[in-house]
Amino acid sequence: MGVSNIVSVFLLLVLINLSSNNIKGIEAFHKVYEKLQSQSVESVNPLHRSAFHFQPPKHWINDPNGPLYYKGFYHLFYQYNTKGAVWGNIVWAHSISKDLVNWEALEHALYPSKWFDVKGTWSGSITIVPGKGPIILYTGVNKNETQLQNYAIPEDPSDPYLRKWIKPDDNPIAMPDYTMNGSAFRDPTTAWFSKDGHWRTVVGSRRKHRGIAYIYRSRDFKHWVKAKHPVHSKESTGMWECPDFFPVSTTDFENGLDLDYVGPNTKHVLKVSLDITRFEYYTLGKYDPKKDRYVPDGNSPDGWEGLRFDYGNFYASKTFFDYKKNRRILWGWANESDTVEDDISKGWAGLQVIPRTVLLDSNKRHLVFWPIEEIESLRGNYVRMNNQNIKMGQRLEVKGITPAQADVEVTFNIPSLEKAETFDPSFKLKPLELCKMKGSNVTGGVGPFGLITLATPDLEEYTPVFFRVFKDTSTHKPKVLMCSDARPSSLKQDRGPLKQDKMYKPSFAGFVDVDLADGRISLRSLIDHSVIESFGALGKTVITSRVYPVKAVKENAHLYVFNNGTQIVNVESLNAWSMQRPLQMNNGAQ
């Protein structure tokens, strides 16, 4: 039997195994594919790999960990499988950059080696402690599968690369007590220092079905004590992974705030990643440092109908304060939407989205996100369009750039909202369902209009990103839906046992908080082969989709601007650029 036959028989066995009971779920996230997690990658299929997103050369990645700016370098650590393309064998991989665009890989910062992390070095964060330097807080898993919080210190804090990390023997710094669930206790946040002389960090957890954010205090960053009450919790939300807790200014809408900022004009943001739904949500609210309690604002819903950093494929996100440029920057993980079999055969899975700045919107009801300015250094060939009316059923091609690897910004002008469809109040809580019901091919009044990305000319394959405007008869205001619809994205049909399409092709959607008083709305999409990040109305609503076209790839992909509503819309301006590859992307990763 030839090698390739042996490989295919082996693959077949793997696939048979996959469909049986090889999946041992500790819980939704840490799905353990026992036989697959160490199966080495034979080769890497580059077809759908990104060009300008952060991605190691092969294998599985998930959560971004401990991002920081230190001594002239941005650092990104991330959860990485050293052996294969599914979750398992997780270490803290480590890369550095001067500009958040070009990255160089260093040796792994943390890997299981001590009794307090022998079964896992899971997510965490970094705090710069004056006099000590950067300190990692991370979750370790012991041989009993109990989750513990640990710390690690740089061997040499004066090394700007922070290459070597030491895990002191007085770890762990926090163990679950008898009231807590030791299988649900993880992801410590960056700590902050308060006037009362204490450091504080937040750790995600659950008690029965209640999602919990515990708060721990320490004077010396070694001895930590759990506060009597969680900083916040919410019934029926399940495990709170990857909490993030930070202040935003309510008067300065240009600069971010560091964690220990204290002042009158602030709100706090509490974000959690919900293990049950695999989506995140956040609330805006008030943090009382005396009581160590956080209370969301009345109009900021707590739970999975709440606000999101990103309404698409985005999870386990984490922000850090970049004191070089006074901004708060968000990292987040976008997993694959294809199948586990696909991930194994392509040899890689997961990427980090383009870092985004985070600010409070001047309406103070939600945050706004924008790709870091540094990414614009990759803009190459440029084309534009101005003052073009688009009638119903029309689409205009954006030519002269590379549509599979592009940055496109468009501002639409809507002359009249009269024809907008009436908004049925029952739609309200389910933008995803609404987008599914009213896709880009369902004629409307005002909209659907927007971009058609990664498309074949006959629209056999395409991923539309668009708006649809409704009239809300109860508020007399327009209600704007934004969709990034993966349903028509790929001809690939991979039928499961019940004949369902196994590829995940959601019609991701969110509402956009705009009144359209001046008739304008903008859309920016960063398109990178299998990832499309879209920013509606300058970042009020953000949606990331992962798609895997089979025909609309590389130079066969096309980009259009379209309208399928009876109301004519005007493309006031459209600017599009080909995006170049960074010179150095994670060069030399292990």
Q: Is 221 or 562 the residue whose CB approaches ligand NAG more closely?
A: 562
Q: Is the CB of 329 or the CB of 334 nearer to ligand NAG?
A: 334
Question: Which CB sits closer to ligand NAG, 322 or 533?
Answer: 533
Ranges of H-type helices in 446-496:
none
For this structure, is 485 an active site residue? no
- 276 is a site residue for ligand NAG (CB under 6 A): no
With contacts defined by CB under 6 A, name the span among 86-94, 138-146, 222-230, 318-326 that binds ligand NAG: 138-146
In the bound complex, what is the minimum distance in angstroms from residue 354's beta carbon to ligand NAG?
A: 18
Q: At closest approach, how far in Å is the CB of 404 from ligand NAG?
A: 18
The Cα–Cα gap between 483 and 548 comes to 18
Q: Which of 564, 567, 578, 586 binds ligand NAG (CB under 6 A)?
A: 564
- Is 149 a binder of ligand NAG (CB under 6 A)? no
- The token pair that represents 374 in the structure block: 């540094």
Minimum Å distance from CB 394 to ligand NAG?
9
- Does 183 interact with ligand NAG (rule: CB under 6 A)? yes
**Residue indicated by tokens 């980009």:** 559
Binders of ligand NAG in range 317-356 (CB under 6 A)? 335, 337
Q: Which residue type occupies 476? A: H
Nearer to ligand NAG among residue 89 and residue 249 (C-beta): 89
Tell which one of 112, 157, 380, 439 touches ligand NAG (CB under 6 A): 439
Which residue has 């970049």 as its token pair?
322
Output the CA–CA distances (angstroms, integers) from residue 397 to 385, 391, 430, 460, 562, in the order listed.
Answer: 10, 14, 32, 16, 9
Give the long-range contacts of residues 490-495, CB within 8 A, separation 24 or more.
490/461, 490/547, 490/548, 490/549, 490/550, 491/460, 491/461, 491/549, 491/550, 491/551, 492/548, 492/550, 494/339, 494/341, 494/342
Of the pair 375, 455, the CB lying nearest ligand NAG is at 455
Binding of residue 181 to ligand NAG (CB under 6 A)? yes
CA–CA dist 376, 418 (Å, integer):
37
Give yes or no for residue 385 binding ligand NAG (CB under 6 A). Answer: no
Q: Pick the catalytic residue: 63, 275, 338, 485?
A: 63
| Residue in 81, 142, 233, 283 binding ligand NAG, rule: CB under 6 A | 142
DSSP code per residue over 331-386: EEEE--SS-HHHHHHHTEE-EEPPPEEEEE-TTSSSEEEEE-GGGGGGEEEEEEEE
**Phi, psi (deg, nearest 5) at residue 399:** -110, 155
Q: Which of 142/319 has CB closer to ligand NAG? A: 142
Rounded to an integer, what distance in angstroms lies between the CA atom of residue 317 and that of residue 352?
A: 9
Least Å from the CB of residue 270 to ligand NAG: 19
How far is C-alpha 292 from the geometric centre of its chain's CA atoms? 28
Q: Residue 200 or 505: which CB sits closer to ligand NAG?
A: 505
Tell me the CA distances in angstroms from 152 to 72, 76, 175, 186, one per residue in order: 21, 16, 16, 16
- The residue within the footprint of ligand NAG, chosen from 51, 367, 452, 469 (CB under 6 A), is 452
Contacts from 168-172 at CB under 8 Å and sequence distance 24+? 169/114, 170/222, 171/114, 171/116, 171/140, 172/116, 172/140, 172/148
Contact flag: residue 143 with ligand NAG (CB under 6 A): yes
Give me 29's structure tokens. Answer: 């996230």
Stretch that binds ligand NAG, among 141-149, 156-164, 293-301, 526-534 (CB under 6 A): 141-149
Q: Least distance in Å: CB of 315 to ligand NAG?
A: 3
Q: Report the distance separating Cα 450 and Cα 469, nearest Å.
A: 12
**C-alpha dihedral (346, 350, 355, 361), degrees to nearest 10:** 130
3-state secondary structure of 204: strand
Contacts of ligand NAG in 185-214 (CB under 6 A): 206, 208
DSSP string, 237-250: ---EEEEEEEEEES
Could you tell me the smallest distance in angstroms from the CB atom of residue 393 to ligand NAG?
6
Does 144 sit near ligand NAG (CB under 6 A)? yes
Residues touching ligand NAG, count (CB under 6 A)? 28
Question: By 3-state DSSP, what share of the chain in percent is helix, strand and coil, each rounded to 5?
Answer: 10, 45, 45
Q: Which stretch binds ligand NAG (CB under 6 A): 3-11, 181-189, 400-408, 566-574?
A: 181-189
Considering the complex, what minimum distance in angstroms separates the CB of residue 305 from ligand NAG? 18
- Residues 497 to 526: which contact ligand NAG by CB under 6 A? 504
Q: Which of residues 229-248 bind ligand NAG (CB under 6 A)?
A: 239
Please give the residue ranges that form the binding site for ligand NAG (CB under 6 A).
Answer: 27, 115, 142-144, 146, 181, 183-184, 206, 208, 239, 278, 315, 335, 337, 393, 439-441, 452, 459, 464, 487-488, 504, 562, 564
Instruction: List active site positions.
Output: 63
